[in-house]
Amino acid sequence: MKVVTTIKDMQELILKQKSQGKSIGFVPTMGFLHEGHLTLLNRARKENDIVVLSIFVNPLQFGPKEDYAEYPRDFERDRALAESEKVDFLFYPSVEEMYPTSPSVKVTVQERTDVLCGSSRPGHFDGVATVITKFFNIIMPTRAYFGKKDAQQVAVIEGLISDFNIPVNLVAVDIVRENDGLAKSSRNVNLLPTERKEATVLYQSLQAANAAIDKGERDPIKIIDMICEVIGNESSGVIDYVQIYSYPQLKPLEKLEGTIIIALAVKFTKVRLIDNIITKID
Amino acid sequence: MKVVTTIKDMQELILKQKSQGKSIGFVPTMGFLHEGHLTLLNRARKENDIVVLSIFVNPLQFGPKEDYAEYPRDFERDRALAESEKVDFLFYPSVEEMYPTSPSVKVTVQERTDVLCGSSRPGHFDGVATVITKFFNIIMPTRAYFGKKDAQQVAVIEGLISDFNIPVNLVAVDIVRENDGLAKSSRNVNLLPTERKEATVLYQSLQAANAAIDKGERDPIKIIDMICEVIGNESSGVIDYVQIYSYPQLKPLEKLEGTIIIALAVKFTKVRLIDNIITKID
């Protein structure tokens, strides 16, 4: 595995691989790798000749009151994990390398941002879309891998690729879950022991919603009420939101049809968990 | 020459050429080709294996009060000219093909826009940068050709390429002039006969400015005054602006140094002419 820190070197290495007809799988991350990232790397490894992992904590996507400085970083651990996942190139640029001057252009996301987690993070997805645009031009991937855990990010990047005609295939990878259904997350360790048991209700409530839809329920308000009731009855968590939208457009629905996302966020004592299911209604 | 109207076909044709190691020269236009465009095509033809010309009147870069509907179009004439310049692919998409849905993302230009012609066209360069981003992803050019006549557009696209790390070489082509120095333009035919003679003073004033700088003048205000005086004395044109900035940053200068642009716009009876020189001060 080669660690690459400059854009110029990275582009040259990629162009050399592409000139030999090699396919490029790309997994963008902010580092501090967890099992979700390794699942993406594993999938990329199976489907491409060359695997590129980027580690870059992107200041552009943090709000002024957010935890950019405190965001966890452990490059040596990440490097070892990347090596064990048979990554070919680890792209690890500095902030100065990625943003050498005050940028004259940025990507502005005009849709899909004012719902779910985005409503409380103005400008966040502009920062995500801008850095991903840069990465796509630097890595020129055949396929780019994103986890469905952050379904809104997938929706925004789907829009970015489609609207800008970026020649890359987006691979949205299913949420990895514990045996009891809890979506895996680095943050789960911050659940208190009783909360950890209760937290299984998040996915259970989504499954219950799915079952109700299968039985013919098409009213989003009824589904949302049902989920809130299940979570309220069976956990001490405080619901941040339960929302249903068309996917990937993230538009409100009066009646459930087409592909939809049911997404929720629940606050526990020291941690806020998110989960979602995306389902197609025939 | 092949006329291509869909993005998918265009991308497939380009990928096929690139897989054979061919270089791609790209000339983006809004059609109604004039000598300036032909100069760009000629240069692209000399420097690349494959030449792609796009003709697309981009609604995104026209303001609500601007002349999108009236913008001149003559596809059959353009097609014949492209053929005679040995263009390989003429990319000619419809508005519906380029913008099938209300876009969820756009490029926002944050610098270099509030001066020169940009100050009176809010949003214009966002539209230019967005469509050029799309074209770069569709055509994947090795080199892209722009005329220095529209120096602000070149500056914005230089920022776009640099900030987004787009793997393309920008080739900024010198202004083509008549024998008497007037910058060539389709609009010159709208000058009255006396105005046509007077209009040579635009370039003469820029040359006089250059000579003064060569002799050591470093005060932009003195240079601007000198240009205004020359134009005022020797033509009936009304000065719209005479401005000097750093180039390509387009920042004001207290003292002339580095690479600078001296740009002007002058209104005649039926036509507004622009001209500029870009010069490096040692």
Task: Report the distance separating Cα B158 and Cα B142, nearest Å.
Answer: 15
A159 touches chain B (CB under 8 A): yes
Residue B187: band (very low, low, confident or very high) from pLDDT cuts 50, 70, 90: confident
pLDDT above 80 for B186: no
CATH topology of domain A186-276: Pantoate--beta-alanine Ligase; Chain: A,domain 2 (3.30.1300)
CA distances from B90 to A206, B41, B86, B190 (A): 51, 12, 10, 29
Write b or e for each residue in B166-191: b if 16 or more Cβ atoms lie within 10 A of its Cβ, otherwise e: bbbebbbbebbeeeebbbbbeebeeb
**Helix segments in chain A, DSSP class H:** 7-19, 35-47, 75-84, 95-98, 124-139, 151-164, 193-198, 200-214, 220-234
Task: Report the distance separating Cα B52 and Cα B86, nearest Å.
Answer: 10
Q: Which residue has the tokens 């940028």?
A: A103
pLDDT above 90 for B72: no
* Minimum Cα–Cα distance from B126: chain A residue: A105
**Residue B165 is nearest to which of A102, A134, A166, comparing CB atoms?**
A134
pLDDT in the model for residue B107: 97
Please state the pTM of the whole predicted model: 0.91
Looking only at the bridges linking them, the beta strands covering A238-246 and A258-267 are antiparallel
Residue B222: band (very low, low, confident or very high) from pLDDT cuts 50, 70, 90: very high
Query: How confident is the model over A13-37, as a mean pLDDT?
Result: 94
**Residue B110 is nearest to which of A105, A160, A162, comparing CB atoms?**
A105
Query: How confident is the model over A3-20, as a mean pLDDT?
Result: 96
As a 3-state breakdown, chain B gives helix, strand, coil percent values, each rounded to 5, of: 45, 25, 35
The C-alpha torsion from A233 through A237 and A243 to A247, rounded to 10°, is: -110
Query: How confident is the model over B241-270, as a mean pLDDT?
Result: 95
Task: Report the distance separating Cα B43 and Cα A126, nearest Å.
Answer: 37
**Class level of CATH domain B186-277:** alpha beta
DSSP state of B175: P
pLDDT in the model for residue B173: 97
Q: To the nearest whole angstrom, how far is the Cα of B205 from the nearest Cα of chain A? A: 31
Between A69 and B78, residue with greater pLDDT: B78
DSSP state of A176: P
Catalytic residue among B37, B43, B134, B143, which? Answer: B37
B143 touches chain A (CB under 8 A): no
pLDDT in the model for residue B153: 95
B183 touches chain A (CB under 8 A): no
Sheet holding B169-173, edge to edge: B2-4, B89-91, B50-55, B24-29, B143-147, B169-173
Contact A47, A26 (CB under 8 A): no
pLDDT in the model for residue B105: 96
Active site residues of A: 37
**Residue B104 is nearest to which of A102, A163, A165, comparing CB atoms?**
A163
Write b or e for each residue in A68-79: b if 16 or more Cβ atoms lie within 10 A of its Cβ, otherwise e: eeeeeeeeeebb
Query: How confident is the model over A100-104, as a mean pLDDT?
Result: 92
Q: How many CB atoms lie within 10 A of CB B15?
A: 12
pLDDT above 90 for A194: yes
Query: How confident is the model over B115-144, as a mean pLDDT?
Result: 94
Query: How confident is the model over A116-123, as a mean pLDDT?
Result: 85
pLDDT above 90 for B69: no
pLDDT in the model for residue B17: 95
DSSP state of B71: S
Active site residue B124: no
Percentage of chain A exceeding pLDDT 90: 85
pLDDT in the model for residue B121: 86
Taking contacts as CB-CB distances below 8 angstroms, the residues of chain A near B162 are: 104
How high does pLDDT run on average in chain A?
Answer: 95
Q: To the nearest whole angstrom, how far is the Cα of B279 from the nearest Cα of chain A? A: 22
* Chain mean position to CA A251: 19
Query: How confident is the model over B32-55, as a mean pLDDT?
Result: 96
Residue A91's DSSP bridge partners are: A4, A54
Mind listing the pLDDT tens digit for each residue in B142-173? 999 999 999 999 999 999 999 999 999 999 99
Between B190 and B155, residue with greater pLDDT: B155
How high does pLDDT run on average in chain B?
Answer: 95
pLDDT in the model for residue A276: 97
CATH topology of domain A2-173: Rossmann fold (3.40.50)
Task: Report the distance separating Cα B21 and Cα B43, nearest Å.
Answer: 20
Percentage of chain B exceeding pLDDT 90: 85
* Residue B164, token pair as written in the block: 């987004």
Task: Report the distance separating Cα B208 and Cα B217, nearest Å.
Answer: 11
pLDDT above 90 for A120: no
Mind listing the pLDDT tens digit for each residue in A249-259? 999 999 999 99
pLDDT in the model for residue B164: 97
Residue B225: band (very low, low, confident or very high) from pLDDT cuts 50, 70, 90: very high
Query: How confident is the model over A238-253, as a mean pLDDT?
Result: 95
Residue A114: band (very low, low, confident or very high) from pLDDT cuts 50, 70, 90: confident
B108 touches chain A (CB under 8 A): yes
pLDDT above 80 for B201: yes
B6 touches chain A (CB under 8 A): no
Residues B129, A102: C-beta atoms closer than 8 Å: no
Domain limits of chain B? 2-173, 186-277
Task: Report the distance separating Cα A120 and Cα B129, nearest Å.
Answer: 29
Query: How confident is the model over A9-23, as a mean pLDDT?
Result: 95
pLDDT above 80 for A60: yes
Give the side-chain half-sphere CA count within 13 A for B125. 28
CA distances from A114 to A129, A223, A277 (A): 15, 21, 19
Residue A137: band (very low, low, confident or very high) from pLDDT cuts 50, 70, 90: very high
pLDDT in the model for residue B115: 86
pLDDT above 80 for B200: yes
B111 touches chain A (CB under 8 A): yes
